[in-house]
């Protein structure tokens, strides 16, 4: 039974039959798939970097220096993590532009478009929290600015800022909160929404046709 | 017994009935499959080696940087000397235990700083942070002192530059 379920799942992810036209590279440029590949690269290299990263105000930046200059191949893993993150943001953006230009947001794919827009927002937040974890001068100011901007949202701003950045203004609690968002909650939500996104692509009749 | 093989074209696939035999022949597809397995295996082994080294060197001697004793002896006392191979500035003092080293990156945004002999200060060319000879912040924007490194004896006429304070 479990074997059958696995086979059915794989069949959905990679069906045996696909429309011939959709096998052309120029059809989608594999942008969604490449973004997913970058996400997997992020998870693998991020798991390695977690072995060295120390989420506290006084140790965060030195721990990154340790990865970059002391740990064997540390600079390779950190650079892959950094650049795959940037590539993921760009790929998701270009993917959205492609979907928009081919009018693939029209029914029956409207729900998948909404999920995709949410995914784009989450990828931005994921990238931004990673930028803050370095905790150099730039990250400290960026977190202060981001918090101030979040607090300006009418009615929910203060509460939302507390959820995102923690109760303290700039301190250990803020950094630990950002770390938890970056390594646990956001990737979990991203993975969940990406599964629905892929499932909906199949459910709505395969990848979208060109104009 | 039946075997199913595929032609080289992407668009079509044919079922060919063949006698069960020991006759082996390679199609373009099977050749590419073997090639992919070989290349993936090579990349896999190579990356596993790097990952293993990264994971298993969280602590211990592998984090350290070494220089020859001969080089250390040639350095003038009380004057910072840059050793690019290990990415550190070394300040030689009366004894080895008093001597110290500083990581060569500014704690502000990671630029390589330089020694300004006229001011007796380390200066970062990127944003103007200044540090004294012991690595203490003299002027911002940096707020953290330079990471202090320690010099200790190592085998084969070498000295180890380590971020761990030597045990007495």
Best to test chain B binding among A75, A137, A140 (most B CBs inside 10 Å): A137
- The sign one gets for the Cα dihedral A171, A152, A111, A100 is negative
Q: Do A71 and B107 make contact, defined as CB atoms within 8 angstroms?
A: no
Q: Measure CB to CB from residue A137 to each of B10, B103, B141 and give the nearest one.
A: B141
Q: Do B63 and A77 make contact, defined as CB atoms within 8 angstroms?
A: no
Q: What is the pLDDT along chain B (168 residues), one digit of tens a residue?
A: 444 444 444 444 455 555 555 555 667 888 888 999 999 999 999 889 888 888 877 544 444 577 877 788 788 878 888 887 777 888 888 787 778 888 888 887 777 888 888 888 888 888 888 898 888 888 878 888 888 888 887 777 778 787 767 666
Taking alpha carbons only, the member of A179, A198, A27 closest to residue A119 is A198
Average pLDDT, chain A: 88
Residue B90: what are its φ and ψ, rounded to 5°?
A: -110, 135
pLDDT value at position A83? 97
Q: Are A81 and A42 in contact (CB under 8 A)?
A: yes
Q: Measure CB to CB from residue A48 to each of B55, B107, B163 and give the nearest one.
A: B55
Cα separation, B63 vs A59, in Å, equals: 17
Mean pLDDT for the stretch of residues A31-47: 95
- Residue A210: exposure state from Cβ atoms within 10 A (0-12, 13-18, ≥19): middle
Total CB pairs under 8 A between chain A and B: 49
Q: Are B93 and B99 in contact (CB under 8 A)?
A: yes
Long-range contacts, stretch A112-116, CB < 8 angstroms, 24+ apart: A112/A197, A112/A200, A112/A201, A112/A204, A115/A193, A115/A196, A115/A197, A115/A200, A116/A197
pLDDT value at position B166? 67
Cα separation, B51 vs A73, in Å, equals: 8
Q: Measure CB to CB from residue B10 to each of A23, A74, A76 and give the nearest one.
A: A23
Q: Do A69 and B87 make contact, defined as CB atoms within 8 angstroms?
A: yes
Cα separation, B3 vs B96, in Å, equals: 74
User: What domains are there in chain B, each with its CATH number?
Assistant: 1-56 (no CATH), 61-162 (2.102.10.10)
A12 pLDDT above the threshold of 80: no
- Contacting residues of A for B143, CB less than 8 Å apart: 137
pLDDT value at position A186? 96
Q: What is the DSSP letter of B112?
A: B
Mean pLDDT for the stretch of residues A49-63: 89
Beta-strand runs (E) in A2-95: none
Q: Do A65 and B54 make contact, defined as CB atoms within 8 angstroms?
A: no
- The Cα of B108 is separated from the nearest Cα of chain A by a number of Å equal to 6
CB count in 10 Å sphere of residue B83: 17
* Dihedral, CA of residue A178, residue A179, residue A180 and residue A181, to nearest 10: 50
- Token pair belonging to A203: 């459910």
Mean pLDDT for the stretch of residues A92-118: 91
More confident call, A83 vs A164: A83
- Contacting residues of B for A76, CB less than 8 Å apart: 50
| Bond before A107 cis per omega within 30 degrees | no
pLDDT value at position B26? 66
pLDDT value at position B6? 44
Helix segments in B84-152, DSSP class H: none
Cα separation, B133 vs B161, in Å, equals: 17
Residue of B nearest to A52 (CA): B58
- The Cα of B144 is separated from the nearest Cα of chain A by a number of Å equal to 9
Q: What share of chain B is helix, strand, coil (3-state, %, to 5)?
A: 20, 25, 55
Look at phi and psi of residue A9 and say left if phi exceeds 0, alpha if psi is from -120 to 50, else beta.
Answer: alpha
- Contacting residues of A for B107, CB less than 8 Å apart: 61
Q: Do B108 and A136 make contact, defined as CB atoms within 8 angstroms?
A: yes
| Interface check B162 vs A, CB under 8 A | no
Residue of B nearest to A45 (CA): B51
Cα separation, A172 vs A48, in Å, equals: 22
- The Cα of B117 is separated from the nearest Cα of chain A by a number of Å equal to 27
pLDDT value at position A71? 84
| Interface check B129 vs A, CB under 8 A | no
SS3 state at B54:
helix
H or E stretch at A173 = helix A172-180
The domain covering A30-203 belongs, at the CATH homologous superfamily level, to Cytochrome Bc1 Complex; Chain C (1.20.810.10)
ipTM: 0.71
């Amino acid at each position: 039974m479990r074997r059958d379920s696995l086979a059915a799942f794989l069949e959905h992810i990679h069906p045996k039959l696909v429309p011939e036209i959709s096998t052309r590279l120029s059809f989608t440029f594999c942008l969604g798939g490449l973004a997913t590949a970058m996400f997997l690269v992020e998870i693998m290299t991020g798991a390695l970097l977690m072995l060295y990263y120390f989420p506290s105000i006084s140790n965060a930046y030195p721990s990154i220096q340790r990865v970059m200059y002391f740990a064997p191949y540390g600079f390779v893993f950190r650079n892959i993590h950094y650049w795959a993150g940037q590539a993921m943001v760009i790929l998701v953006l270009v993917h959205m532009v492609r979907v928009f230009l081919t009018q693939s947001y029209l029914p029956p794919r409207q729900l998948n478009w909404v999920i995709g827009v949410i995914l784009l927002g989450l990828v931005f937040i994921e990238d931004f929290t990673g930028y803050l974890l370095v905790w150099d001068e730039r990250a400290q100011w960026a977190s202060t600015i981001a918090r101030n901007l979040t607090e300006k949202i009418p009615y929910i701003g203060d509460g939302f800022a507390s959820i995102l950045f923690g109760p303290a203004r700039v301190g250990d609690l803020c950094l630990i909160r950002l770390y938890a968002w970056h390594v646990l909650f956001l990737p979990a939500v991203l993975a969940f929404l990406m599964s629905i996104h892929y499932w909906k692509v199949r459910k709505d009749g395969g990848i979208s046709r060109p104009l | 017994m039946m075997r199913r093989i595929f032609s080289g074209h992407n668009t079509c696939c044919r079922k060919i009935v063949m006698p069960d035999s020991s006759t082996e022949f390679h199609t373009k597809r099977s050749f590419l499959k073997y090639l992919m397995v070989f290349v993936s295996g090579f990349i896999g082994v190579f990356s596993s080696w790097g990952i293993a080294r990264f994971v298993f060197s969280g602590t211990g001697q592998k984090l350290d940087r070494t220089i020859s004793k001969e080089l250390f002896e040639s350095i003038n006392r009380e004057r910072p000397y840059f050793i690019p191979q290990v990415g550190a500035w070394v300040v030689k003092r009366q004894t080895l235990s008093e001597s110290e080293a500083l990581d060569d990156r500014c704690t502000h945004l990671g630029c390589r700083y330089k020694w300004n002999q006229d001011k007796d200060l380390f200066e970062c060319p990127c944003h103007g942070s200044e540090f004294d000879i012991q690595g203490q912040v003299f002027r911002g924007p940096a707020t953290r002192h330079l990471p202090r490194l320690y010099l200790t004896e190592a085998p084969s006429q070498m000295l180890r530059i380590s971020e761990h304070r030597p045990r007495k």
